[in-house]
């Protein structure tokens, strides 16, 4: 292979890797959104079973993926318990560890 062919091959490989990375990030975003909606549905069902009126709740879902030596995935859901308060407290943490 000529130097020009090697350069073109490397550029194409980088383009494919970048496209794949963006596709994976996009899918993670969509899965995180579905997870958040699932949490909302579970909370609403719980409130309805308790006979409470539907209350608007604010929540945040953080997903951290670390790939140092092994893979650690941490999912945190944080909800605002008191609508008048700006303090957030963690309500659900799940850790999954494995080797890549």
Q: How far apart are CA 49 and CA 25, in angstroms?
A: 36
Question: In this structure, what are the phi and psi dihedrals at residue 82, rounded to the nearest 5 degrees?
Answer: -110, 115
Single pTM value for the model:
0.55
Cβ–Cβ < 8 Å for 96, 70: no
| Boundaries of every domain in the chain | 1-55, 57-100
Render pLDDT for 5-30 as a digit per residue (tens, 0 to 9). 999 999 999 999 999 999 998 998 89
Render pLDDT for 39-74 as a digit per residue (tens, 0 to 9). 888 888 887 887 755 556 677 778 888 888 788 888
Q: How far apart are CA 33 and CA 70, in angstroms?
A: 26
């Amino acid at each position: 292979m000529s130097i020009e062919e090697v350069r073109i091959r490397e550029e194409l490989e980088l383009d494919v890797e970048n496209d794949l990375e963006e596709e994976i990030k996009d899918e993670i975003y969509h899965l995180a959104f579905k997870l958040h909606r699932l949490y909302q549905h579970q909370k609403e069902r719980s409130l309805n079973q308790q006979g409470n009126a539907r209350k608007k709740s604010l929540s945040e879902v953080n997903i951290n993926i670390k790939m140092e030596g092994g893979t650690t995935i941490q999912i945190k859901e944080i909800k605002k318990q008191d609508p008048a308060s700006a303090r957030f407290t963690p309500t659900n943490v799940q850790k999954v560890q494995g080797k890549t």
